[in-house]
Amino acid sequence: MLLKYINSNRISVSILIALLPVVFWVPSLFTGSAFPPGEPTGQIFGRIIAGFNIQYRVLSAIIALLLVVSNGYLLIHLNTIHIFIPYRTQLPAFFYVLLSVSITQLHQLTPALVSSTLLIFVFYRILSAYKTDGISVRFLDAGLLISVAGLIYAPALTFIVFLFSGMVLLRPFIWREWVFALIGLAIPFAFMASAYYLLGLPANTMFHDIADSFSKRQPHIRLSQQVNWAYVLFFTLIASYYMANAIDSMKIHARKFFLVFLAFFLITLVIFMMPGLGISMVYYAAVPLSFLFSFYFVKCRRTWINELLFALFLALLIWLRIN
């Protein structure tokens, strides 16, 4: 019954999804450090965000909370436009919020959260290019967004590979589109290099700041968080197996879109294994996982086992909050 209720399009479900992170997030406003240990702040925008957190702790947490809720509904809207999950459902927002709030050390504004928001808009640009006739300039926008995300949070630059993977999966080879993507990637860095030059800063300072983003220590992960993410990994395997069996019966566009999400997730795993990174990847991993989990629970049979699998997500979230 719980799964049926959350999977509905009732207004009460929308309110529940919006209130869930608020209830989970508010206690963190009064505890913890001014900036999450282990969160990269090497680049200038990361240092600005860190300074903002120190001076305006409550405001930064509220902004971050609004971003998390907004991102969840951006994912719903993405599926509403392209319908790769064959139902109108609020589950993508539910799972995105559930996964994003599970790391209490990140309950404030962080470079990773801001950059991941920009990458959600990259999905909008890439997926909308799928049925475009002729040359699409949307890859210029996508490259621009990834580059800006990388200036805010250096590991996001790795998603340049995701951009090119999406172009291969969704479009025939049109060399002008690849040029557009490269131009989009170059523009923000050209502006940044110009700013460093005008301010009289050495050019290698920018590269040193990027390197510094990979050298932070990781915060302590509680047992409840370890158990929660072990369950997320376990269910990822279940949902992936289900997806692999169902993918041949999907419509062509849905199949290709889920392959794009897979490419995004694999790159997230690569970033996760980089030195000095880890928990910040929750904001990135939550995007493809929210669609994967939503597809499973939308398409699966309503058995007591699936009801239990769904209820465990909420049970573990409650344990995270009280532990």
Query: 47: pLDDT confidence band, cut at 50, 70 and 90?
Result: confident
pLDDT at position 29 is: 64
Q: What is the 3-state secondary structure (H, E, C) of 24-87?
A: HHHHHHHCCCCCCCCCCCCCHHHHHHHHHHHHCHHHHHHHHHHHHHHHHHHHHHHHHHHCCCCC
Spatial distance between the Cα atoms of 322 and 163, rounded to a whole number of angstroms: 40
pLDDT at position 55 is: 82
Q: Is the pLDDT of residue 103 over 60?
A: yes
pLDDT at position 205 is: 64
Q: Quick check: 176 and 132 in contact, CB under 8 A?
A: no
Q: Is the pLDDT of residue 33 over 60?
A: no
Q: Which of 164, 193, 191 is nearest to 179 (CA)?
A: 164
Sorted by sequence, the CB contacts under 8 Å of residue 188 that are 6+ apart come out as: 144, 147, 148, 150, 151
Query: 38: pLDDT confidence band, cut at 50, 70 and 90?
Result: very low
* Full-model pTM: 0.89
Task: State mean pLDDT over 280-285.
Answer: 87
Terminal-to-terminal C-alpha distance of the chain: 27
pLDDT at position 70 is: 93
Task: State mean pLDDT over 292-308.
Answer: 91
Residue in the structure block whose two tokens are 């062509």: 252
Sorted by sequence, the CB contacts under 8 Å of residue 318 that are 6+ apart come out as: none
**Residue 99 or 220, more confident:** 99
Q: Is the pLDDT of residue 51 over 80?
A: no
**What are the helix and strand counts (H, E) for the chain?**
14, 0
Number of structural domains, the chain?
1
Task: State mean pLDDT over 291-304.
Answer: 91
pLDDT at position 217 is: 55
Label residues 201-221 b or e (16+ Cβ within 10 Å = b). Answer: eeeeebeebbebbeebeebee
Structural domain harbouring 85:
2-322
What average pLDDT does the structure give for the chain?
83
Give the number of other CB atoms < 10 A from CB of residue 136.
23
Burial (CB count <10 Å: 0-12, 13-18, 19+), residue 47: middle
Q: Is the pLDDT of residue 287 over 50?
A: yes
Give pLDDT tens digits for 197-216.
777 666 666 666 666 666 55
